[in-house]
């Protein structure tokens, strides 16, 4: 097939649309596409001078391009870049090969602007040994965009010459460390187990995983490691479902998908759904038992339980940084429990919890965090709390700092003792822009014991649904932190709408 004509695609609102080109044999010639996205699907793709120039022209005009080499009809499924491809602007190029991606020695791929380049081998995620070989040059020295290379765990990666931008800065909350990142793909539960063999590696989840087949308990990544996971793990928005970590662990060991995320470890853009995680007197969280590193854009659901030490829906103990993450999981133990984290001595920003917290005859619970001696900012809890010893809407006990946050937690009123709207006890600092729902929690006191907070920070459910009820530090603007969607009786974080 030869594509030569101009194709225009717009949505009903006037924004750019999507154009799909599918062919068994494809020559782009001088094809022009006026759209936001151009998807090209063909069994294999060889970017000679004509094809490369066509891609360059369309990218510079603002059309992002995705090329999928499908491997259909017995073809190789490879993408071979045989000529130089340069463009200006913010459009992005994605090259998805069902097997391998190769840049020839005469090839330079370069961008001036904020364009992204994604090279992906084994794009269908079947562990076929697909690799990425750069014999040419990737030049992002004048771009603020990202370069991502993803290759099969059984494949090879030859980076070749790559020039990055010395002034590049990671976007806030992204969890990224470098402008150019090469990832080993995790496409199966077996691949996931192999992460324990190299705890400093850089990994990407290549597809959603279902841990229920085979239905055997999963051993936490890095269970017996002294350092924990110190690499990078990017879920790319994919999910691990039905994770079961219920085998008997040694007393005191942390339990979760990752046993411990070390100080240099980063986990981002990952969902762990419908998980069942249990511990044995060590900290328990669905994502990790303990985090000393960075967690960004992570979400969990399911249950996290422990007969002894504390439990959290996302993390058991956090001494690191949690950004823009959440959990709807239930968390319970005979110690300190939190909807997001059991104990926090680190930093939690723009995060939330909506699960059920509290179990055990000696348990204490906070809707977001059990015990906080760190920083909580721009976060909230809107779940249910029912511990037998001590309860707080946002935290059980606070020795740290809480700012611009709220609790809209429902308490089991049949369970003693009397909860605090924000905290059961407070010896730290709770700022004057922290609120609680007096009707849902059933308390007019923000703190049960310790340093009090103003009574006027207790709002009715109706007031919680109005922007005007919150202080001047709360930004409900178009690019602000908070939003109250139609039908909601409390704010949520603006980033949640896009996720």
DSSP letters, 22-79, are E-SS-B-TT-EEESSEEEEEESSEEE-HHHHHHHHHHHHTT-EEEEEE--GGG----E
381 shares a domain with 259 = yes
H/E element, 104: none
258-287 burial: b if 16+ Cβ within 10 Å, else e:
bbbbbebbbbbbbbbbbbbbbbbbbbbbbb
Tell me, yes or no, whether 184 lies in a domain. no
pLDDT of residue 418: 72
Note whether residue 328 is domain-resident.
yes
Strand partners, 89: 113
Flag whether 163 is in a domain.
yes
Kindly state whether residues 325 and 411 are assigned to the same domain: yes
Distance between first and last Cα of the chain: 38
Distance CA(24)–CA(178), nearest Å, equals 37
Structure-token pair, residue 242: 């039905």
- Would residue 470 count as lying in a domain? yes
CATH number at residue 324: 2.160.20.110
**Claim to verify: residue 331 and residue 398 sit in the same structural domain:** yes
325 and 238 within one domain: yes
Domain co-membership, 225 together with 316: yes
Quick one: 117 and 244 in the same domain? no
Domain annotation covers residue 189: no
Of 368, 293, 370, nearest to 333 (Cα)?
370
C-alpha 180: how far from chain center? 19
Strands 435-437 and 406-407: parallel
Sign, Cα dihedral of 276, 282, 285, 286? negative
Alpha-carbon distances, residue 274 vs 315, 316, 327, 360 (angstroms): 15, 17, 11, 22
- Total domains, the chain: 2
Alpha-carbon distance of 99 to 130, in angstroms, equals 5
Per-residue model confidence (pLDDT) at position 217: 79
Residue whose token pair is 């439990």: 311
**What tokens does 70 get?**
């499908």
> What pLDDT is stored for residue 360 in this prediction?
59
pLDDT of residue 469: 98
149 shares a domain with 68: yes
Alpha helices by DSSP H, 159-214: 189-194
Residue 81 lies in a domain: yes
**In whole angstroms, what is the distance from residue 452 CA to residue 90 CA?**
50
pLDDT of residue 386: 82
How many residues are listed for the chain in this entry? 499
Residues of the chain predicted below pLDDT 70: 1-10, 25-27, 29, 214-215, 247-250, 308, 360-362, 387, 413-417
DSSP, residue by residue, 235-252: -TT-EEES-EE-SPPPTT
Residue 298: strand, helix, or coil: strand
pLDDT of residue 61: 95
Provide the residue range defining the domain that includes 407: 206-497
| pLDDT of amino acid 247 | 66
Q: Is residue 491 part of a domain?
A: yes
State whether 92 and 44 are in the same domain: yes
Query: For position 3, what pLDDT does the model report?
Result: 52
Residues 12 and 148 in one domain: yes
In this prediction, residue 143 carries a pLDDT of: 99
Q: Are both 134 and 216 inside the same structural domain?
A: no
**pLDDT of 411-462, one tens digit each?**
775 555 678 999 999 999 999 999 999 999 888 999 999 999 999 999 999 9
Q: Are residues 153 and 292 in the same domain?
A: no
- 3-state class (DSSP) for residue 394: coil
What's the gap between Cα 119 and its chain centre? 21
Edge-to-edge order in the sheet of strand 157-158: 45-47, 79-81, 101-103, 132-134, 157-158
243 & 339 share domain: yes
| Residue 186 counted as domain residue | no
């Amino acid at each position: 097939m030869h594509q030569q004509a101009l194709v225009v695609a717009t949505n009903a609102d006037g924004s750019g649309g999507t154009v799909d080109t599918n062919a068994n044999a494809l020559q782009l010639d001088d094809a022009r596409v006026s759209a936001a996205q151009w998807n090209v699907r063909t069994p294999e793709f060889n970017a000679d001078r004509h094809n490369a120039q066509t891609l360059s022209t369309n990218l510079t005009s603002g059309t992002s391009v995705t090329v999928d080499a499908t491997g259909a009809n017995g073809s190789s499924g490879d993408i071979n870049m045989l000529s130089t491809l340069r463009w200006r602007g913010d459009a992005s190029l994605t090259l998805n090969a069902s097997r391998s991606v190769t840049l020839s020695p005469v090839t330079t791929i370069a961008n001036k602007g904020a364009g992204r380049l994604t090279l992906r081998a084994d794009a269908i995620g079947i562990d076929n040994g697909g690799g990425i070989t750069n014999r040419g040059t990737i030049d992002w020295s004048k771009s603020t965009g990202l370069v991502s290379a993803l290759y099969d765990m059984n494949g090879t990666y030859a980076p070749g010459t790559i020039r990055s931008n010395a002034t590049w800065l990671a976007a806030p909350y992204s969890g990224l460390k470098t402008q150019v990142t090469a990832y080993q793909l995790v496409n199966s539960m077996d691949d996931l187990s192999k992460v324990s063999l190299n705890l400093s590696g850089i990994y990407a989840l290549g597809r959603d995983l279902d841990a229920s087949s085979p239905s055997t308990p999963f051993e936490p990544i890095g269970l017996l490691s002294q350092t924990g996971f110190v690499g990078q793990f990017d879920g790319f928005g994919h999910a691990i479902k039905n994770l079961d970590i219920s085998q008997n662990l040694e007393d005191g060991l942390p339990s979760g998908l990752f046993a411990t995320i070390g100080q240099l470890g980063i986990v981002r853009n990952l969902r762990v759904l419908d998980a069942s995680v249990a511990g044995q007197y060590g900290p328990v969280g669905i994502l990790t038992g303990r985090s000393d590193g960075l967690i960004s854009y992570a979400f969990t659901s399911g249950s996290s339980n422990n007969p002894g030490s504390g439990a959290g829906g996302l993390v058991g103990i956090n001494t690191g940084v949690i950004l823009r993450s959440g959990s709807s999981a239930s968390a319970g133990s005979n110690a300190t429990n939190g909807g997001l984290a059991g104990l926090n001595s680190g930093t939690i920003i723009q995060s939330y919890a909506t699960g059920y917290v509290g179990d055990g005859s000696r348990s204490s619970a906070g809707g977001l965090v059990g015990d906080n001696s760190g920083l909580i900012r721009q976060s909230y809890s809107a779940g249910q709390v029912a511990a037998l010893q001590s309860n707080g809407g946002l935290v059980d006990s606070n020795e740290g700092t809480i700012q611009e946050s709220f609790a809209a937690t429902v308490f089991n009123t049949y369970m003693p003792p009397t909860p605090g709207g924000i905290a059961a006890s407070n010896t730290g600092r709770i700022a004057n822009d922290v609120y609680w729902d007096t009707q849902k929690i059933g308390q007019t006191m923000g703190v049960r014991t310790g340093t009090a907070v103003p009574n006027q920070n207790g709002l009715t459910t109706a007031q919680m649904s109005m922007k005007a009820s919150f202080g001047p530090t709360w930004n409900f603007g178009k690019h602000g932190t908070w939003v109250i969607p139609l039908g909601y009786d409390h704010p949520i974080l603006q980033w949640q709408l896009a996720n």
